[in-house]
Structure 1
Amino acid sequence: MNLKTVLLGKTFQFRDLKEVMAKANEEKSGDQLAGIAAEDAKERMAAKLVLADLTLADIRNHPLLPPETDEVSRIIEEAVNEKIYAEVGNWTVAELREYLLRQDTGNREIRRISRGLNSEMVAGAAKLMSNLDLVQAASKIEVISHCNITIGQKGVLAGRAQPNHPTDSIQGMKASLFEALSYGIGDAVLGINPVIDSADSVKQILKATKEVMEKWSIPTQNCVLAHIKTQMKAIRQGAPADMVFQSLAGTEVGNKAFGIDATLLDEADDLIRRDGTGTGPNLWYFETGQGSELSAEAHHGIDQVTLESRCYGLAKKYKPFIVNTVVGFIGPEYLYDSRQVIRAGLEDHFMGKLQQLPMGVDVCYTNHMKADQNDMDNLAVMLAAAGVNYIIGVPMADDCMLNYQSTSYHDIATLREMMGLRPAPDFENWLVKMGLMENGRLTPLAGDPTLFM
């Protein structure tokens, strides 16, 4: 495995694959904080040149985190289709990138080849891509999933209704939810982050959202984004949960910091399939985001893009209905400004889609980051062009409970109208029956939550 190159008269010798992968990243403040980033643009380019010439077999044969010591690595390794890997193992990372971007490589070819890749190979390809490359490659990939309804079809942009409330007020959540529905948002999920992480609170919120769904015959699914153990307790007490939720990290130690491991996820998977209210077969909602492993001192010297890709390798095992990267939520420690957030959002969406996940993105930032709502508009348009399965909707793009900025209900409606996209088919049919949509466009009734009062 050659880890040396000469660039502009200077020789660059890298210690190992881990250093090459880290220094081939586009600039990220999290990698700088971890002390693993390229020193300058010249070293970054040298690392990209070395990475481009490595084979996929080089990457698999030199694991950044050996399966013997990490269960995420084991899950990723066990999922590789050996027959397909044998066809592509001698490809260089540059050849993989070229294959994905070729005009004659379509969804079927990409879906097949992806089964022979591991998460580190996917991350390597992302590091060699421009933002436009990431958009183009992801736009070819269609990942369809079904819980109570189906999303992910070409031309469909779904939206998560996120009617959070700072005191878990059911009345307040419903008011926000009615506004979301009036804009045609909520086909991905009615998903609420609770303030109080207790089984009673989770059960109360799940019952309230299920009552709204039943009263108005809304074809969608509900979920409460509490810790998985709390959700499991609520489900065992009879709470009507269509899906279960959990945040993931890309290493075993990182997941332990979240209070989870594969055994617990397996137990939750069995529970939701046995006692959940979703029809399935896709009954999970996972969230990720670059930098969480570094926060938990669980990164093992691996860069945050590669770790994010490993999250998707873990998520794939459970065949989720939706996954999203909360791209700018952690803050400037890991993604310093809008340029880094936009890059990360496109990387994450591409890496998840290439690993056959139904990817969404929370197009968001924190108020201490060098970003604003115009930057989020830019990223949202790029993701819509890339074929993102869904994005997040909160009132006026300002989450009053989590205290961060995201995208609004009307932002999603605008993206649909502007780019010729539609809600999920079953949900659109319901919107038509409610008088909120006609011929793929919102009617004058849209945006009036009193319709549900």
Structure 2
Amino acid sequence: MPYRHVIQQRAYVFDDLRTLLARATPRRSGDELAGVAAATYEERVAAQLALADVPLRQFLHEALVPYEADEVTRLILDTHDAAAFAPVAHYTVGQLRDWLLSEAADAPALAALAPGLTPEMVAAVSKLLRNQELIAVARRVEVVTQFRNTLGLRGHLATRLQPNHPTDDPRGVAASLVDGLLYGSGDAVLGLNPATDSPRQVRQLLELLDGVRQRYDIPTQTCVLCHVTTTLQLIAAGAPVDLTFQSIGGTEGTNRSFGISLALLQEAHEATLALGRGTLGSHVMYFETGQGSALSAGAHHGLDQQTAEARAYAVARRFRPLLVNSVVGFIGPEYLYDGKQIIRAALEDHFCGKLLGLPMGMDVCYTNHAEADQDDMDTLLTLLGVAGCTYIMGVPGADDIMLGYQSTSFHDALYLRQTLGLRPAPEFEAWLQQQGIFSAQGQLRPAGDAALWRQLPPPLRQ
């Protein structure tokens, strides 16, 4: 059905809900590349005003990607929780926005509502919110997950210690691990991107990470971010798999381009659960997403990239993950051109993921050919800390020498924790204090004072 709004006697008509959402999206290069963006600022405002009047129920009746042709659409509609939706079922998108900004939308109310919201509803309301409003609402949402420690508690910020190495050299990986641990990083996961997806190589890396974790009795989890099919092979072979990782997208075609389906993710989820390696909880999946993946795969179905991204969160939600993060600036300036667009997209992704009930982290990052720099990332890092982000990346020097992009460092995590009064995961913080890495007040102590440092093999102390 068409949607219409008039500005200064000029009528703007949008053919369908998919077009309306795309035209209402704040400007970004990926939507312009796809030919779905508003042509002018006035058209964007007209679309936002028209979108505000759309009943939320319309998203249950007008599928943006055909139900018959897309398993993600079927997942979204077939698992929709009508009872959870009932309190807002009579709202328009604009009324949902007003309610989210009211005092009635507290943490328990938002948690109860999450199963009743579809990704498209959440994407729609995000397009009507300013950056500060995306932050204010997301901050109220608390999503707690557990494996060997507890993540997502209010007032806490975790980090993924990312010890990537261009050749997967064990000594290089181990050196980065030690560096990060001595700065208090690693409570979200000791998570490494392998240089190759070879099962033999991935197993060696898994054993290295798990060996460090066990040797120093670290209350965290490990993951080598290989393809889900490789992980399944390794589970069958008895490798020490804590978490199964996979990049996911918001359409069936995007996931096909990653070599996955919902059935394959279900198989992996069940296989990883069966290992029973978690000591506190059974959240065993780790998903990464990013705006632009559907367009890059030629599988966006005319959706704007932010709405397609939000649909990926329905896939993640299905499998109760321990960790989800948007690698927001990783794909490049073809999709998010500059620091301003990266900041906006990150706040949208974080807001949408948390509102849908996900433990959202963010890779605060950019590629070297984007119109962005580390000052932009400092701004985004701080905004996400205020917004209650679950975790960020910890990369030596903020420069990933294997993947070739800029992210956040161990020092960045210290800055955010100290400036905003945030703490690591409780179990991990107790370990840091026991090791003499952190003081009882949560302050970093000199590396030479740490028991971990004295336990290291001599080559790693050089």
Report the TM-score when normalising by structure 2: 0.96
1:276 deviates by 5.7
C-alpha distance in structure 2 between counterparts of 1:445 and 1:265, whole Å: 43
Task: Tell me if the contact between 1:431 and 1:437 (Cα under 8 Å) persists in the aligned partners.
Answer: yes
**Matching residue's letter, 2:52:** A
Q: Is the 8 A contact 1:182 1:451 kept in 2?
A: no
- What secondary structure is seen at the aligned counterpart in 1 of 2:116? coil
Correspondence 1:127 to 2:127: yes
What aligned pairs does 1:344-359 form with structure 2 within 5 A after superposition? 344-359=345-360
**Shift of residue 436 of structure 1?**
1.1
1:25 to 2:25 alignment: yes
- How far apart, in 2, do the equivalents of 1:10 and 1:364 lie? 40
Q: Distance in 2 between matches of 1:452 and 1:129?
A: 51
Mapping for residues 66-85 of structure 1, pairs under 5 Å: 66-85=66-85
Report the 3-state secondary structure (helix = DSSP H, G, I; strand = E; otherwise coil) of the residue aligned with 1:95: helix
How do residues 414-429 of structure 1 correspond to structure 2 at under 5 angstroms?
414-429=415-430
Contact 2:354 2:360 in 1 (8 A): yes
Q: What's the CA shift string for 1:320-348, capped at 9, x where partnerless?
A: 00000000000000000000000000000
The alpha-carbon deviation at position 435 of structure 1 amounts to 0.6
Count of equivalent residues: 453
Quote the Cα distance in structure 1 between the aligned partners of 2:439 and 2:136. Answer: 31
Kindly state the Cα deviation for residue 426 of structure 1 after the two structures are TM-superposed: 0.1
State the distance in 2 between where 1:277 and 1:379 align: 35
Q: Which moved more, 1:375-384 or 1:57-66?
A: 57-66
1:452 CA displacement: 5.2
Cα offset for 1:412? 0.3
Residue of structure 1 in register with 2:386 after alignment: 385
Query: What is residue 275 of structure 2 aligned with on the other side?
Result: 275
The Cα shift of 1:303 comes to: 0.6
Q: Output aligned runs, 1:359-438, within 5 Å.
A: 359-438=360-439
Give the C-alpha shift of residue 103 in structure 1: 2.2
| Residue in 2 that maps onto 1:34 | 34
Q: Report Cα offsets for 1:91-142 as digits up to 9, x if no partner.
A: 0001111111112320100111222111100100111011001000000000
| Structure 2 gaps, min length 5 | 457-462
Deviation at 1:441, TM superposition (A): 2.4
Matches within 5 A, 1:40-59: 40-59=40-59
Check conservation: 1:436, 1:446, Cα contact below 8 A: yes
Counterpart for residue 242 of structure 2? 242
1:161/1:185 contact within 8 Å kept? yes
2:113 and 2:442 map into 1 onto residues whose CA distance is 37
Distance 1:164-1:276 versus aligned 2 partners, 3 A rule? farther
Residues in 1 aligned to 2:216 and 2:199: alpha-carbon distance in whole angstroms: 26
Q: Give 2:459's aligned residue.
A: none
The aligned counterpart of 1:8 is 8
SS in 2 for 1:286: strand
The 1-side partners of 2:310 and 2:384 are apart by 18
Conservation of the 8 A alpha-carbon contact between 1:188 and 1:220? yes
1:269 Cα deviation from its structure 2 partner: 0.8
Give distance in 1, aligned partners of 2:55 and 2:195. 47
The 1-side partners of 2:194 and 2:240 are apart by: 16
| TM value normalised by structure 1 | 0.98
Report the CA distance between 1:442 and its aligned residue: 2.4
Q: Gaps (5+ residues) in structure 1?
A: none
- SS of the aligned residue for 2:68 comes to coil
AA matched with 1:377: D
| CA gap 1:268/1:369 in 2 versus in 1, 3 angstroms | same
Quick one: which amino acid aligns to residue 74 of structure 1?
R
CA deviation profile, 1:169-209 (whole Å, cap 9, x unmatched): 11110100101000100000000000010111111111111
SS in structure 2 at match of 1:56: coil
Alpha-carbon offset, residue 231 of structure 1: 1.3
SS in structure 2 at match of 1:55: coil
AA aligned opposite 2:333: P
Structure 1 stretch 25-34 or stretch 58-67: which is displaced more?
A: 58-67
Q: Distance in 2 between matches of 1:83 and 1:218?
A: 41
**In 2, Cα distance between equivalents of 1:157 and 1:440:** 16
Contact 1:80 1:117 in 2 (8 A): yes
State the 1:450 CA deviation. Answer: 4.4
CA distance, structure 2, for counterparts of residue 68 and residue 7 of structure 1: 37
Decide which moves more: 60-69 or 134-143. 60-69
| Bigger mean CA offset, 406-415 vs 75-84 | 75-84
Relative to structure 1, the CA distance from residue 2 to residue 295 in structure 2 (aligned partners, 3 Å threshold; closer, same or farther) is closer
- Is the Cα contact below 8 Å between 2:439 and 2:445 reproduced in 1? no
Q: Percent identity?
A: 49
Q: Distance in 2 between matches of 1:442 and 1:197?
A: 38
CA–CA distance in 2 between the matches of 1:452 and 1:351? 43
Tell me what 1:186 maps to.
186
Measured against aligned partners, the alpha-carbon deviations of 1:225-282 in whole angstroms (never above 9, x if no partner) come to 0111111111211110110000001000110000000111111011101136334310
Structure 1 counterpart SS, 2:69: coil
Q: In the aligned structure 1, how far is the partner of 2:3 from the partner of 2:285?
A: 40
Contact 2:187–2:425 (8 Å) recurs in 1:
yes
Report if aligned partners of 2:2, 2:13 keep a CA contact under 8 Å in 1. Answer: no
After superposition, where does 1:164-183 map in structure 2 within 5 Å?
164-183=164-183
Counterpart in 1 of 2:299? 298
Partners of 2:2 and 2:15 within 8 A in 1: no
Residues 283-294 of structure 1 aligned to structure 2 (within 5 Å): 283-294=284-295
Contact 2:248 2:289 (8 Å CA) reproduced:
yes
Letter in 2 for 1:288: T
Deviation at 1:67, TM superposition (A): 2.1
Please give the secondary structure, in 1, of the residue aligned with 2:418.
helix
